[in-house]
Chains A and B, each alone.
Chain A
Amino acid sequence: MTTTTGATTGVRRRTVLATGSAGAALTTLATTVDATPADAAGAGARFFRHGVASGDPMPDRVVLWTRVTPTAAATPGSGTGPAARVRWEVSTRKDFRRVVRRGQVVTGAHRDHTVKLDVTGLKPATWYYYRFTYRGARSRVGRTRTAPAAKARPTNLRFGVVSCTNWQAGYFAAYRGLAARNDLHAVLHLGDYLYEYAPGEYGYGQSDRDIRRHDPAREMVSLEDHRRRHAQYKTDPDLQALHAKYPWVITWDDHEVTNDQWRGGAENHQAAEGDYLRRRARAHRAYDEWMPVRMDGTARLGDGDRLFRRLTFGRLAEISMLDLRTYRTRQPSGPTAAREINDPAATITGDAQMRWLKQSLSRPAPFWKVIGNPVMISPVTFAQLPSAIVGAVNEVTGLLPADGVPYNVDQWDGYTADRAEVLRHIKDHHVQNALFVTGDIHSGWAAEVPYDAGNYPLGGTGAVEFVCTSVTSNNLKDITGTPAHTTSTAVEQTILANNRHIKYLNFDDHGYSVLDLNAKRAQMDWFVIGDRADRGTSIRWSRSFVTLASTNLVKEAFVPLHRQKPGQS
C-alpha cells in the first residue's frame, strides 16, 4: 500500500499565472450536475462534478485524475477554495473488497483543485477500479487497465480513436458509442480535445450555430478561461462515461491553445491578447492540471510541458504520441508557399522530437510502431479541385487560402523536409509496421504513405495512415450546407483520383474509430453518427480498412471488429 502526500507542494510555475474570479461558470455547473450519472449521485456528485479519468497506462502504473469542488465557491478557474485532502483507492474488484493501493493527496486552489497522481505497483494487463473520497463522499467508480508487461505478446490490442470534439458544435455521441463497448483496452485522443472559441465563433454548420455555448463566453486566453473551459468539457456525461471506463492516451493539437498555433504564435492570436508564449504557458498549465497525461514523464504539475512520449504495450505495439504544435516553425502561406514548404529549415517536429521519433521508429521490439499523429502525414494534392469548392475544403482541412496552392500546409504537407526525413529514416532502416493514427481534419481517411507520391505505387510505401473523423467539429457538408454525400462525394472522388495512395476518404460524417492490432494486421473501423445536434443520435458502423503486417498496403475489410474473434485477420 502506498500513501501519497504532498502531491501539490513544491510547484514551480513556468510563468506568472493569471487567475480570475469564479464568474459565469456557476450556471453551467449547476446544469451539468443534474446530468451526472446516477451512480455518482449525492454528496459525491457535489464534490466530484467533473468525473474521474485515467491515462497513460504502463505495465505497473497509470495516471488517475479527478477534480474536487470542496465548496460551492471553489468553482473551476475561481482561484478560491480551501485546501482539500482527497483519498484514493485502487481495487481489482468493482466493489472494492480487494483494495491494492490507496493513499491521499492534498489539492487546492493553486492547482484548481485538480487531483492527479501516478499510481504505481500495479500488475500488467490488469483491469482496476478506482475511486476518490472527500469528506466521506465518494466519486463515481472509474475503471482502468494497465499496459501489458514489456515482454508480453498480447493476442491483440484495441483502441477507441477520436479527435476534434467541439462542445458548441454538438453532443459527444461518439464518446457514448465508445463507452458502450466492452472490447477496448484504451482510448486514443489525437487532439483538439477542447476549443478556444467564444460562443458564435465556431459552432454547428454553415451558420456556426451553438448547440451548446462555451463557458466562459469568450475566447479562452487567461488561465481562468482555460480552467473553466476544461471544466465545462469535463461535465459532459458522455465524456465522463468514456473517461471512467477506459484509460486515455492523449495528445494536443492546436485548439488546446488556439487555432493554427506554431512555436511563436498562432492564426487565432492577436497582439491585444497579450504575449503568445505566456498564453500558451497558461494553456499548458491548465492542460497539465486537467488532463490524465504525464508531461515531461511525470504526473507532477509544473515540472515541464513535454507531451511527446512513448507508451509500450508489450511486444505487440508501442505508441509514440507526437506534439506537432509546440516546436513547429510558422506554417507556409500565400503565393510563396511552394518555396516555404520545401524549406529545409522549416520543421513541424523540432529537432529534439525528430530525433526522438526516429528512435521510436528504430526500436527493435515493438511489432507495430503506432504514431499518435495530430495532423496528416500522407501527401495530398488538391490541384484538381474546382476553385469554387476549394474554400470549403480549406475550411475543413485547414488548407491554404483558395489561391490555387495545392497543398495542405498546416499538416506535414507544409513541412516536406521533415516528412522526407522521417520517410528516409524508415526506408534506410526498412522500418516495418509504422502506422500513423491521425486526427485533426474532420474527415476519415485511409492511406498508404508513399516514399515518392509522384512514383506511386512503383516507388513503394513506407507506412500506413488511418485518420479518424471529428466527433463534432464541422466537416465539408456542414460548411457547404449541402446534403450529405452530394457535393462532398464529387470532392472525394476528385481527391482519390489525384491521390492514388489514398484508399478511403469520407468528408461528410462525424463519429469515431476503433483500431485493432494483432500480429497479422491492423484494422480500423469507422463509425458514424447521425445528427450531432441530437444527444441521442444513432451510431452505425460505416467502413473498415486493414493493412496486413509488413506490407504498407491498405485494403478494405468487410467484417468489422466487433464481429471478429480476437486475433482474427
Chain B
Amino acid sequence: MCGCGDRHEPGTPTPYDAGRAELATGRRTLLKAGGGVAFSAAAGLATASGGLAEAAPARRERRRVYVLVVDGCLPEEVTGGQTPHLFELMVTGQRWRRAQSMPIMETIPNHVMMMTGVRPDRSGVPANAIYDRRLRDVRDLDRPSDLRADTIIQRLNRRGLRTGTVLSKEYLYGIFGARATARWEPAPIIPVSGHAPDEFTINAAMQMVEDVDPHLMFVNLGDIDRYGHTDVTGPLGAKVLRRLALLKTDAYVGRFVQMLKDRGTWKDSMVLVLADHSMDWSTPTSVISLAGPLDDDPFLRGKVQIADNGGADLLYWTGATRQREEAVRRMLRIAKAEPGVLSAHDRRTRWLRLGPEAGEVVVFCRAGWRFSDPDPLTSNPIPGNHGHPATRPIPFFVNGGHPRLKHRAASSAVAQTVDVAPTVASFFGVRGRPRGGWDGKARV
C-alpha cells in the first residue's frame, strides 16, 4: 500500500480508536460546541460549563493565526478561474511562488515540519510509512510518540495561548494527538480514505473559531489530495475529480475567510495557506516494484524491507550490521537500474536529512511513475501519488488584516513547509528557538 492511506493491521487500534479511548477514560473531555461538532480538550483545561479555562495572556493577545493546508494542491492549480477565493487571497496577500515541500514529500512529515520548524532528522518523522524495526512491520507514523520534537503548538500553549487542531486525516489526528488546547474529533470519516470531507472540516474550523477562538489553529483540508489520489483521469490530465475538489475546497476557504471578516477577527489575523506536497499521476503500466529485483540478489534476498511511500521507496537492511555497507551499495545499484527510477540515495546523504527512521536507501521515481511495493499489482493501485521530486512545489501565501502583513507582494525566496513554525513564532513574538535552532525561516 502506498503511504497515503491508513495502514493498520486488522485488530490494532487506529488513532481514532485511541482518541475515543481517551474520552472514555476521562483523560480528555468533550467541550461544549455548536453545530453538532465535537472538540476535545485535556481534562484539566475544561471548565465545568464545557468551556476552556483561560489564562491571562490569552485575554491580552488579540493576534490570530490560521494555517490552512490545502493538502496535495499544486501551485499552478491556484488560478482565478479554478480557485477564485484562494487566488484572491494569494494575489492580494504576500506570495512565495517558488515554495517547496521537503523530503519525503508526504503528508505526515510535512505537517510535522510545519508545526515543529525542524527537519525529519530532528523530529523523527521522515515519511508517512516506515519500517518499524522493533515491530518488524511497515506502519504509518501516526502515534503521538512518533513525533519527538517540540511543536509551535506546545510553545504557544506554554505561553498561555489557545491552540486548536482541525485535521481531517486519521494519521494527522493521530500524530498530533492531544498537543493542541482543543482538538476536533473528526466526523464523519470516509472509511477507505480515512479522512473527513472538507465540508465538515471547514464547518469544524469555523465552529472552533466561534467556540474556542484559538490563537493558532492548524487546519488540514484533505479533499484535494484524496480526490487526486483516486482520480483515474489524472494521468491524461483531465483530473475530473480533482478539479471538482479544488472548486469545492476553494469555496470552503472563501467561507472561512468571510467568517473571519464578519466576526471582526480579520484585522488581527494572519492566514497562511500552503500545501504539504503536490501530486503526480501514473498509469498502471508505469509502476516500479523493487521487491522482486532486490530479492533476486542473493546477498539481499529476504533481508530488505520496503516502506512504500507512493513516489518514494524507503529500503531497510535487516541483515547483519557488518554487511550494511555492501547492502547499501547493492540496493543503490539495483534501484538505479529500474525503469522509472529517477534517483536513489544513501539515506545518510546530507541534504536529505531524514534520520535513521528512513532506513538505508531512499529511492525516488520519475514523474508519471509510482512505486508499488512489495506487490507490484496490489500494494499501490492508485493513480495519484506524491513523495518524489516532481511533487515538491506547493502554493504558499499569507494574507490577513494584521498591519504587519504585506499586501500584493511577492517574494522570490524559496519558502518551505518547515518555515511555518518560525513564521508563526515570529508573528506572535515568541522568543527562543528549538535547541539547535529552526531549520526554517520566518517569512513575515
Chain B positions within 8 Å of A72 at CB level: none
Residues B76 and A455 in contact, CB atoms below 8 Å apart = no
One digit per residue, 1 when the CB lies within 8 angstroms of any chain B CB and 0 when it does not, for chain A 446-470 equals 0000000001011110000000000
Chain B, range 386-421, C-beta contacts under 8 Å to A = 389-393, 408, 410-414
Chain A, range 306-364, C-beta contacts under 8 Å to B = 315-316, 364
Contact of A519 among B75, B238, B411 (CB under 8 A): B411
One digit per residue, 1 when the CB lies within 8 angstroms of any chain B CB and 0 when it does not, for chain A 160-203 equals 00000000000000000000000000000000000000000000
Interface of B is mostly: loop
Residues B236 and A433 in contact, CB atoms below 8 Å apart = no
Given the known inter-chain contacts A430-B278, A430-B391, A430-B392, please indicate yes or no for A552 contacting B76, CB distance below 8 A: yes
Interchain nearest-CB distance for B363 vs A (Å)? 14
A432-B75, A458-B237 given; name 5 further pairs at CB < 8 Å.
A315-B413, A429-B390, A432-B98, A519-B410, A569-B410
Residues B98 and A550 in contact, CB atoms below 8 Å apart = yes
Residues B366 and A428 in contact, CB atoms below 8 Å apart = yes
Chain B, range 94-153, C-beta contacts under 8 Å to A = 95, 97-98
Q: How far is the CA of A153 from the CA of B410 in the complex (A)?
A: 11
Residues B390 and A428 in contact, CB atoms below 8 Å apart = yes
CB of B342 within 8 A of chain A?
yes
CB of B41 within 8 A of chain A?
no
Residues B412 and A455 in contact, CB atoms below 8 Å apart = no
Closest chain A residue, CB of each to CB of B233: A458
Residues B393 and A550 in contact, CB atoms below 8 Å apart = yes
Residues B97 and A550 in contact, CB atoms below 8 Å apart = yes
One digit per residue, 1 when the CB lies within 8 angstroms of any chain B CB and 0 when it does not, for chain A 32-47 equals 0000000000000000
Residues B98 and A153 in contact, CB atoms below 8 Å apart = no
Closest chain B residue, CB of each to CB of A152: B412
One digit per residue, 1 when the CB lies within 8 angstroms of any chain B CB and 0 when it does not, for chain A 534-569 equals 000000000000001111110000000000000001
Chain A positions within 8 Å of B95 at CB level: 519-520
Chain A positions within 8 Å of B414 at CB level: 364-365
CB of B434 within 8 A of chain A?
no
Q: How far is the CA of A569 from the CA of B80 in the complex (A)?
A: 15
Interchain nearest-CB distance for B84 vs A (Å)? 15
CB of A427 within 8 A of chain B?
yes
CB of A367 within 8 A of chain B?
yes
Q: How far is the CA of A455 from the CA of B233 in the complex (A)?
A: 13
Instruction: Across the A-B interface, give the 8 residue pairs with the lowest CB-CB distance, nearest first.
Output: A458-B237, A549-B97, A519-B410, A367-B412, A519-B412, A427-B367, A520-B410, A550-B97
Chain A positions within 8 Å of B366 at CB level: 424, 427-428
Interchain nearest-CB distance for B74 vs A (Å)? 9
Q: How far is the CA of A429 from the CA of B236 in the complex (A)?
A: 19
CB of A518 within 8 A of chain B?
yes
Given the known inter-chain contacts A455-B236, A458-B236, please indicate yes or no for A428 contacting B411, CB distance below 8 A: no
Chain A positions within 8 Å of B389 at CB level: 428-430
One digit per residue, 1 when the CB lies within 8 angstroms of any chain A CB and 0 when it does not, for chain B 411-442 equals 11110000000000000000000000000000
Closest chain A residue, CB of each to CB of B343: A428
Interface of A is mostly: loop
Contact of A518 among B98, B390, B391, B410 (CB under 8 A): B410
Chain B, range 195-213, C-beta contacts under 8 Å to A = none
Chain A positions within 8 Å of B97 at CB level: 367, 432-433, 519-520, 548-550
Q: How far is the CA of A487 from the CA of B91 in the complex (A)?
A: 41
Residues A459 and B367 in contact, CB atoms below 8 Å apart = no
Q: How far is the CA of A316 from the CA of B412 in the complex (A)?
A: 6
Q: How far is the CA of A549 from the CA of B393 in the complex (A)?
A: 12
Contact of B367 among A430, A458, A551 (CB under 8 A): A430
Interchain nearest-CB distance for A360 vs B (Å)? 15
One digit per residue, 1 when the CB lies within 8 angstroms of any chain B CB and 0 when it does not, for chain A 5-43 equals 000000000000000000000000000000000000000
Q: How far is the CA of A316 from the CA of B391 in the complex (A)?
A: 22
Closest chain B residue, CB of each to CB of A366: B412
Chain A positions within 8 Å of B393 at CB level: 430, 432, 550
Chain B positions within 8 Å of A552 at CB level: 76
Chain A residues engaging chain B, CB cutoff 8 angstroms: 153, 315-316, 364-365, 367, 424, 427-430, 432-433, 455, 457-460, 518-520, 548-553, 569
Contact of A427 among B98, B368, B411 (CB under 8 A): B368
Q: How far is the CA of A445 from the CA of B227 in the complex (A)?
A: 37
Contact of B75 among A429, A459, A460, A550 (CB under 8 A): A550
Chain B positions within 8 Å of A316 at CB level: 412
Q: How far is the CA of A457 from the CA of B389 in the complex (A)?
A: 22
Closest chain B residue, CB of each to CB of A364: B414
Chain A positions within 8 Å of B47 at CB level: none
Interchain nearest-CB distance for A284 vs B (Å)? 36
Residues A153 and B411 in contact, CB atoms below 8 Å apart = yes
Q: How far is the CA of A455 from the CA of B238 in the complex (A)?
A: 10
CB of B323 within 8 A of chain A?
no
CB of B378 within 8 A of chain A?
no
Chain B positions within 8 Å of A518 at CB level: 410
Q: How far is the CA of A459 from the CA of B238 in the complex (A)?
A: 8
Interchain nearest-CB distance for A559 vs B (Å)? 15
Chain A positions within 8 Å of B238 at CB level: 458
Chain B positions within 8 Å of A458 at CB level: 236-238
Interchain nearest-CB distance for B277 vs A (Å)? 11
Q: How far is the CA of A458 from the CA of B98 in the complex (A)?
A: 22
Interchain nearest-CB distance for A130 vs B (Å)? 30
CB of B79 within 8 A of chain A?
yes
Residues A367 and B98 in contact, CB atoms below 8 Å apart = yes
Chain A positions within 8 Å of B412 at CB level: 153, 315-316, 367, 519
Interchain nearest-CB distance for A564 vs B (Å)? 13
Chain B positions within 8 Å of A519 at CB level: 95, 97, 410-412
Q: How far is the CA of A153 from the CA of B411 in the complex (A)?
A: 8
Chain A positions within 8 Å of B342 at CB level: 428
Residues A433 and B98 in contact, CB atoms below 8 Å apart = yes
User: What are 7 A-B contacts with C-beta separation under 8 Å?
Assistant: A365-B414, A429-B392, A432-B75, A458-B236, A458-B237, A519-B410, A569-B410
Given the known inter-chain contacts A458-B236, A549-B97, please indicate yes or no for A430 contacting B413, CB distance below 8 A: no
Chain A positions within 8 Å of B391 at CB level: 430
Chain B positions within 8 Å of A367 at CB level: 97-98, 412
Chain B positions within 8 Å of A430 at CB level: 278, 367, 389-393
Chain B positions within 8 Å of A460 at CB level: 237
Chain A positions within 8 Å of B91 at CB level: 569
Chain B positions within 8 Å of A553 at CB level: 76
Residues A455 and B79 in contact, CB atoms below 8 Å apart = no
Q: How far is the CA of A551 from the CA of B395 in the complex (A)?
A: 11
Chain A positions within 8 Å of B413 at CB level: 153, 315
Q: How far is the CA of A451 from the CA of B411 in the complex (A)?
A: 27
Closest chain B residue, CB of each to CB of A314: B412
Closest chain A residue, CB of each to CB of B239: A458
Interchain nearest-CB distance for B72 vs A (Å)? 14
Q: How far is the CA of A487 from the CA of B165 in the complex (A)?
A: 64
Interchain nearest-CB distance for B351 vs A (Å)? 10
Closest chain A residue, CB of each to CB of B392: A430
Interchain nearest-CB distance for A224 vs B (Å)? 48
Chain B positions within 8 Å of A364 at CB level: 414
Given the known inter-chain contacts A428-B366, A520-B97, A549-B98, please indicate yes or no for A455 contacting B237, CB distance below 8 A: yes
Residues A427 and B76 in contact, CB atoms below 8 Å apart = no
Interchain nearest-CB distance for A542 vs B (Å)? 26
Most buried by A among B391, B408, B410: B410
Contact of A550 among B76, B408, B411 (CB under 8 A): B76
Q: How far is the CA of A132 from the CA of B413 in the complex (A)?
A: 40
Interchain nearest-CB distance for A461 vs B (Å)? 9
Q: How far is the CA of A457 from the CA of B237 in the complex (A)?
A: 8
Residues B98 and A428 in contact, CB atoms below 8 Å apart = no
Q: How far is the CA of A548 from the CA of B367 in the complex (A)?
A: 23
Residues B75 and A427 in contact, CB atoms below 8 Å apart = no
Closest chain B residue, CB of each to CB of A452: B237
Residues B410 and A551 in contact, CB atoms below 8 Å apart = no
Closest chain A residue, CB of each to CB of B369: A428
Closest chain B residue, CB of each to CB of A520: B410
Interchain nearest-CB distance for A558 vs B (Å)? 16
Q: How far is the CA of A27 from the CA of B366 in the complex (A)?
A: 62
Interchain nearest-CB distance for A452 vs B (Å)? 9
